[in-house]
Amino acid sequence: MGKSKIYTKTGDAGKTSLVGGKRVAKTHIRLEAYGTVDELNSFLGFLICEVETEEVAKVLSFVQHKLFNVGSYLATDTETTAVRDKSIIYDKDIAVLEREIDRMDSEVPPLKQFVLPGGSEAASRAHICRTVCRRAERCIHRINEISPVDEHVLMFMNRLSDYFFMLARYKANKAGNEIFWDNTCLL
């Protein structure tokens, strides 16, 4: 097998193809959505570099692979093309996130105030992932307004942002430095 070309020149005029062949503008909401999922996956790789426990790194690796599934799903013109098996998110994928959220939640104090991003490098990176995940979720819901999106994709992305929030709290607490919002805002 020969080496593939990195550039195809087919997108030079501002159009690209969805899975199934339909050509759309690069400003299409599907591209915005799967591009944001790709951005999230890049930040997730950055977060993984700061994670020192094998248990958390294993879950984050799982999430990276599942985000590729989500991106593939979003890149598919679901109105004309069947979604590939490898692009499907299942109940068991969502259950992994819920189990991890519950595990970490059991190890941190109850939340009584708003949390500010920060507290440790890993916590800060998890907060970045959380906010990018929320943006991706909003993009996916915009797709859902015009073309139905599988509920498992919607649930996975929602639960994933919750997971990143809990991971940020978990990491900040492990560092002994969870930061809470001071509503007096005094110096």
Residue for token digits 């907060």?
127
Q: Can you tell me the mean pLDDT for 138-158?
A: 97
Supply the range of the domain harboring residue 120. Answer: 18-77+86-174
Cα(101)–Cα(164) distance, rounded to whole angstroms?
Answer: 9
Q: Can you tell me the mean pLDDT for 140-167?
A: 97
pLDDT at residue number 18: 63
Please report, for residues 2, 75, 121, the alpha-carbon distance to residue 23 in angstroms, rounded to integers and kept in the order given. 26, 11, 41
Paired residues of 25 in beta bridges? 15
- pLDDT of 24 above 70: no
Please report, for residues 29, 45, 128, the alpha-carbon distance to residue 75 in angstroms, rounded to integers and kept in the order given. 10, 21, 24
> b vs e for 128-151, b when ≥16 Cβ sit within 10 Å of the residue's Cβ?
bbbebbbbbbebbeebbeeeebbe
Classify residue 13: in a domain, yes or no.
Answer: no
Classify residue 165: in a domain, yes or no.
Answer: yes
Classify residue 151: in a domain, yes or no.
Answer: yes
Classify residue 71: in a domain, yes or no.
Answer: yes
Looking at every residue in the chain, the average pLDDT score rounds to 90
CATH number of the domain that 149 lies in?
1.20.1200.10
- Express each pLDDT in 110-143 by its tens digit: 999 999 999 999 999 999 999 999 999 999 999 9
- Express each pLDDT in 74-108 by its tens digit: 998 888 888 888 889 999 999 999 999 999 999 99
Task: Tell me how many domains the chain contains.
Answer: 1
Classify residue 123: in a domain, yes or no.
Answer: yes
Classify residue 98: in a domain, yes or no.
Answer: yes
List CB contacts of 35: < 8 A, sequence separation 6 or more.
none
Taking the alpha carbons at both ends of the chain, their separation in whole angstroms is 64
- pLDDT of 56 above 70: yes
Nearest to 74 by CA among 154, 160, 175, 166: 154
At 16, phi and psi to the nearest 5?
Answer: -145, 170
pLDDT at residue number 132: 98
Secondary structure E strands in the chain: 15-17, 23-25
Classify residue 145: in a domain, yes or no.
Answer: yes
pLDDT at residue number 51: 85
User: Which pTM was predicted?
Assistant: 0.91
